[in-house]
């Protein structure tokens, strides 16, 4: 009976080896003695013929070496990534700082522009003020000036004579107040050997002493223990056309105010260097010794007299306040 499977020559004795049979599988030279080794047979390979062409499978040792080689690369990659992230963060920060600086520069530029506009406005206001001053130079606010001056002006009673006086100059060393008036106001008291007069402010009367006098200039100094605010001398020399106010007690009428302008500066007829101020503000007996003040309320002269003659109006005389400063400390 024919076998079910196997090659045709299965069971056939191999040549030269009685009773042997051909192996079922293996290469043709399986069992052939290896050259130079008697009785040896070539080993039978159990690896398929295509296995020699596959790449070798890495063993555990190779994988460890590859991992160790990858560690520096990964570290370098992480370092580069960290540097990139840091640079990005710094770039964002610099961008924000640059934006803040740009905003500050815009704010500073706007502030400078506002300062320039404010300076322009100030210059415009100064020009307007100068224009208004030029327009009002020939006028005076007599009410404001009178309110400023009146508290320092007094009615003087010296025997039978009456006149005016005003607080002026430095205070006496022993205290109190120094006042200026005309010498002719106190002349009768001085001639009688007296040295005391009275001064009146409102309804209050104060005692005053006659101090230094200058007959030639028609000036006298009074001193009182009461304390009053002194008027100040004008720093500038009065000019023709300047507005002036006279404050005094004409005919004993205290706190009278008249206004006018300076008419001229005249030399004294005695040939001295002294001048007198001619002005047109009305004055009367009793105004003598009162202050002649400018638009700022500063004293420019001491009212002295007026020309009385038929047909003559508006010629009044005052002594420059600089002459009074020779008697008291201004």
Catalytic residues: 184, 218, 288
Long-range contacts of 263-266 (CB under 8 A, 24+ apart): 263/314, 263/315, 264/240, 265/238, 265/239, 265/240
DSSP code at position 168: B
For 166, the enclosing helix (H) or strand (E) is strand 161-167
The neighbouring-strand residues paired with 165 are 154
The neighbouring-strand residues paired with 120 are none
CA angle at 299 for the pair 315 and 288, rounded to the nearest 5°: 45
Q: What separation in angstroms does the CA of 33 have from each of 16, 18, 20, 48?
A: 13, 17, 15, 22
Q: Is residue 246 within 8 Å of residue 283, measured between CB atoms? A: yes
């Amino acid at each position: 009976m024919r076998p079910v499977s196997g090659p045709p020559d299965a069971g056939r004795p191999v040549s030269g080896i009685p009773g042997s049979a051909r192996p079922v599988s293996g290469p043709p030279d399986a069992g052939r003695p290896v050259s130079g080794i008697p009785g040896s047979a070539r080993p039978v390979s159990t690896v398929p013929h295509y296995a020699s062409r596959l790449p070798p499978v890495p063993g555990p040792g190779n994988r460890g070496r590859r991992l160790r080689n990858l560690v520096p690369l990964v570290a370098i990659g992480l370092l580069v990534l960290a540097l990139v992230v840091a640079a990005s963060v710094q770039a964002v920060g610099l961008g924000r700082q640059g934006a803040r600086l740009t905003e500050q520069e815009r704010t500073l530029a706007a502030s400078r522009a506002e300062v320039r506009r404010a300076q322009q406005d100030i210059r415009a206001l100064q020009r307007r003020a100068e224009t208004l001053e030029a327009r009002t130079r020939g006028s005076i606010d007599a009410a404001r000036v009178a309110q400023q001056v009146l508290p320092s002006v007094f009615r003087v009673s010296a025997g039978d004579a009456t006149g005016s006086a005003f607080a002026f100059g430095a205070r006496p060393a022993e205290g109190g107040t120094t006042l200026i008036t005309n010498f002719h106001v106190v002349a009768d008291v001085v001639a009688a050997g007296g040295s005391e007069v009275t001064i009146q402010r409102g309804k209050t009367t104060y005692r005053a002493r006659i101090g230094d006098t200058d007959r030639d200039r028609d000036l006298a100094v009074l001193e009182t223990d009461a304390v009053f605010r002194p008027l100040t001398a004008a720093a500038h020399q009065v000019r023709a056309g300047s507005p002036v106010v006279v404050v005094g007690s004409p005919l004993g009428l205290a706190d009278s105010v008249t206004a006018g302008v300076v008419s001229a500066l005249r030399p004294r007829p005695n040939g001295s260097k002294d001048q007198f101020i001619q002005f047109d503000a009305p004055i009367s007996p009793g105004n003598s010794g009162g202050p002649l003040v400018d638009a700022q309320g500063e004293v420019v002269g001491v009212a002295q007299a007026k020309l009385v003659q038929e047909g003559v109006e508006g010629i009044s005389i005052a002594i420059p306040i600089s002459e009074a400063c020779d008697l008291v400390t201004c």
